Chain A
Amino acid sequence: EIVMTQSPATLSVSPGERATLSCRASQSLSNLAWYQQKPGQAPRLLIYGASTRATGIPARFSGSGSGTEFTLTISSLQSEDFAVYYCQQYHNWPLYTFGQGTKLEIK
């Protein structure tokens, strides 16, 4: 099983600032996605293929990385961006695994 580890568990950032979230895989992979989840809502796909934005996702969201280290960057935080973010590997389809999540909160 591929284990996904996200850091930090909680990130406090002020609106308008940049947020950088990390995800590490236990083995090298090529297929990684990022999701956003707000309270009481289903997750929403943000990024797939490590760096491709899903349909309708604003350009302030960007993904990068390869191998075992991946990053989600939100360039200028808006109020609606404060949520929990999960990375997920789909390299080992369909045995998907998710990271434990990073909660992005308002500083």
Chain B
Amino acid sequence: EVQLLESGGGLVQPEGSLRLSCAASGFTFSNYGMGWVRQAPGKGLEWVSAILSSGDSTYHADSVKGRFTVSRDNSKNTLYLQMNSLRAEDTAVYYCAKDPLLGLDNWGQGTLVTVSS
């Protein structure tokens, strides 16, 4: 059974930093691209970042480019999202998802990031 478990969310002040982790199990992690999707309170889904299976190529939405960095450690079956210069509008539940290029077929339960002073 595929499992994705996010961690690292919490309350952070504006301009602060946070690193999210997503521990994967139940599939060959190194064979799949992965992504991060967020959902602001009461709002819809917004794609944030993606990374290829090898980790060689990464992509970010314009809204987070230059502030967020996606990475992965295939030896640890873990996906990361380093978030710097956080803003109030980054407040959201952050989901990691497995990406077999046929839609995002498995999602974690999400971790809440709140940016507030």
Contacts and interface: CB of A to CB of B under 8 A. Distances in A.
Contact of A48 (B95, B103, B106): B103
**Chain B interface SS verdict (over half):** strand
Contacts of A49: 102
Counting contact residues on chain B (CB < 8 A from A), the size range is: 20 to 34
A94 B103 contact: no
A18 B107 CA distance: 28
Contact of B45 (A41, A86, A90, A95): A86
Interface in B59-117: 59, 61, 95, 99, 101-110
Nearest to A47: B103
B44 A45 contact: no
A37 to B, nearest CB: 8
B50 A54 contact: no
B104 A33 contact: yes
Interface stretch (A21-29, A70-78, A96-104): A96-104
A94 B33 contact: yes
Given A90-B101, A94-B35, A43 B47 contact: no
Interface residues of A, number: 26
B101 A88 contact: no
Interface string B4-39: 000000000000000000000000000001010100
B103 A45 contact: yes
A47 B33 CA distance: 19
B110 A98 contact: no
B107 A43 contact: yes
A42 B47 contact: no
Interface in A54-107: 54-55, 86, 88, 90, 93-101
CB-based closest 5 A-B pairs:
A33-B103, A94-B50, A48-B103, A42-B107, A96-B47
Interface of B: 33, 35, 37, 44-47, 50, 59, 61, 95, 99, 101-110
7 contacts: A35-B104, A41-B109, A42-B109, A43-B104, A45-B104, A48-B105, A94-B99
